[in-house]
Amino acid sequence: MNRTSLVCLSLMSMMSLLCWSDRALAVAAEACPDPIFIQSFDDATAVVCPRPKARFDCFGSYATSFGALSSTGAGQPILWTIASNGGPPAAPISVEFGSSSSNGVAEADFDGDGVFDVAVYDIDVGGFSYLPSSGGAAVTITWSSNPSTDFYTVVGDYDCDGKSDPTYVRYAGGAIEWVINTSGPGPDRAVTFGSWTTDYVLAGMDWDGDGCDDLGTVRIDGASNMTWRIGDASSGALLLQQVWGNRSTDFIVPGDYLGDERADFAIWRSFGAGTSGEWLIKENGGPGSLAQVFGTPGDYAVRDLALRGDFDGDGKDDIAVRKNGTAIWQWRRSSDAVIDQATVGTPSGFPIPATGVQ
Ligand SMILES: [Ca+2]
Ligand SMILES: [Ca+2]
Ligand SMILES: [Ca+2]
Ligand SMILES: [Ca+2]
């Protein structure tokens, strides 16, 4: 794909414990046997155990929040309207932050408190701005950049410190250069991985289960076959690759659907001739797979919008869509396969969990 296409995709995205107690460590393993049970409390010691973050959880409820973006037009502020999904009662977030003309949404937890931050990047100045979910004033991070070559946020936690690292990709003679800011101010890594001419770029996710996000692209060949390619965020070395999906029919919907804290190869077969709306998910590093028809396929006028997130909060991403022309989100709960739904925002709003679908 060419750079213009990537810019368009980017703009689409815009509108794209530790256990504690006196005996905590000793009992951690038996107290936290499964993500479904990990918020249970021990009568005597109130043990609370580690739990995976849910994508786009803005309240710390361990489930993807109900958030949408809207704007009144080009150059106008982005209005973020977000309600909690489960957890203790919490006032909704309603805040204007970022501009619809030059900013995209960053999938990020910059302050590292386990809660998604309201965050945008500006492709013209090469900077990120966010509202720390832990409180305090807005933070802006900028560094020297070239708007003609630097764009498309690919935020991830590439140094494993629990904080998202501001990152974007740069056109470098046909190759993709990942410019990463792990400690600031300014980037401290520039890693070459992937090709501008053939690859879609994935936001940072952990593919090999070491707790660090990795570089990822999906390469398209002459027959539109997809090859998922994962690289080391320090060296750019290829860690793994997998043929999965075809660009003539499939959206790229990466996530951890099988709950082993490693991202899975996932596509929604929903456009082009003869598609049924089938989600096809292949476990990364194991034999698991999932094939499930869900959502309405077809052309843009009728097709649902795929969403990425864990809506029932069981530690596994769920197959999910926003129904076409409505504000209804539907998901298939990974915990019990029941279809659930909620009304979020307005039909014209952009669901935050649609960020990163390509
Ligand atoms: Ca945060
Ligand atoms: Ca980091
Ligand atoms: Ca990793
Ligand atoms: Ca789930």
d(CA 308, CA 320): 7
Q: Which residues contact 24 (CB under 8 A, 6 or more apart)?
A: 18, 45, 47
Give the global pTM. 0.86
Quote the ligand 2 centre to 185 CA distance (angstroms). Answer: 13
Kindly list the protein residues that place their beta carbon closer than 5 angstroms to ligand 4, a single-atom ion: 310, 312, 314, 316, 318, 334
pLDDT of 148-170, one tens digit each? 888 788 899 999 999 999 998 99
Quote the ligand 3 centre to 303 CA distance (angstroms). Answer: 34
For tokens 């660090």, what's the residue? 212
Quote the ligand 1 centre to 269 CA distance (angstroms). Answer: 33
Task: Judge contact between 271 and 306, C-beta under 8 A.
Answer: no
Quote the ligand 3 centre to 172 CA distance (angstroms). Answer: 24
How confident is the model over 299-323, as a mean pLDDT? 97
Q: Which residues contact 184 (CB under 8 A, 6 or more apart)?
A: 141, 166
pLDDT of 105-128, one tens digit each? 888 999 999 999 999 988 777 788
Quote the ligand 4 centre to 207 CA distance (angstroms). Answer: 18
How confident is the model over 292-306, as a mean pLDDT? 97
pLDDT of 226-281, one tens digit each? 999 999 999 999 999 999 999 999 999 999 999 988 999 999 999 987 899 999 99
Residue 343: CB atoms within 10 A of its CB come to: 12
Ligand lying nearest the CA atom of residue 232 = 3
Ligand lying nearest the CA atom of residue 212 = 3
Quote the ligand 2 centre to 212 CA distance (angstroms). Answer: 8
Residue 308's pLDDT band, with cuts at 50, 70 and 90, is very high
For tokens 């060296």, what's the residue? 235
pLDDT higher than 70, residue 28: no
Quote the ligand 4 centre to 76 CA distance (angstroms). Answer: 34
pLDDT of 205-215, one tens digit each? 999 999 999 99
Residue 51's pLDDT band, with cuts at 50, 70 and 90, is low
Quote the ligand 2 centre to 161 CA distance (angstroms). Answer: 5
Q: What is the pLDDT of residue 48?
A: 52
DSSP one-letter code for 326: S
For tokens 């803005």, what's the residue? 58
- Tokens found for residue 140: 């802006």
